[in-house]
Structure 1
């Protein structure tokens, strides 16, 4: 008996042109999500879901990834069974110039002030 073929996994992303500033700011208001964005910005490469340093469980982190993805802040994609995360830096810069670098800089200052 032949095994059924499985379709490649894909993740739906909004068109950044249709994302509002309100959506992006609401996604970035949470400190865990700002931390995810800062870690991605600092990594210089896409990161798998399990490699982020956060104070929340993986199931809660999944929720945070979904909020960021639905707001157009990150892009998620699969390589095999691993889900990778990437900042949509160029797209967001085109839509909201200077926003992402300002958020990352503010998040860094915020973390350093708590240390």
Structure 2
């Protein structure tokens, strides 16, 4: 739950919510936080088991572990994604499926 307590991490989860794989740069494009701070937030999410990472050359790709989270904690991820969209200022009708 600590990993879900920060608005920046909630925004990151919302950015990764489309079930695809995203580079760190693409996932953080709309979040105005310094690169080293963003690395910290990615590490917290990864260590909490909320995201997985894959390295390809110098690029790291992140993916939300939706199935694993939903099976262990039903409903928690959906609530966190709604909070992440709220923190980012995204209207629900514009967000689509989380």
Give the alignment's Cα RMSD to 1 decimal. 1.6
The count of corresponding residues between Structure 1 and Structure 2 is 88
Partner of 2:70: 93
> What does the per-residue CA deviation read over 1:24-73, in whole Å, with 9 as the maximum and x for residues that have no partner?
x110110110000001004x421111121211111110000000001111
Inter-CA distance 112–81: structure 2 relative to 1 (3 Å threshold): closer
**Counterpart mapping for 1:42-53 below 5 A:** 42=18, 44-51=19-26, 52=28, 53=30
Structure 1 position 80, deviation (Å): 2.2
In structure 2, the residue corresponding to 1:55 is in which secondary structure? coil
- Structure 1: 5+ residue stretches without partners: 1-24
> Which residue in the other structure is 1:57 paired with?
34
Q: TM-score by structure 2 length?
A: 0.81
Alignment correspondent of 2:83: 106
1:77 to 54, 70, 83: 54
TM-score, normalised relative to structure 1: 0.70
- C-alpha displacement of 1:112: 4.3
The higher relative CO (CA closer than 8 Å, separation ≥ 6) is in 2
Runs (4+) off by over 6 Å: none
- Distance (whole Å) between structure 2 residues aligned to residue 109 and residue 82 of structure 1: 29
Equivalent-residue separation in structure 2 for 1:36 and 1:101 (angstroms): 14
Q: Which runs of 5+ in 2 are unaligned?
A: 92-98
Larger Rg: 1
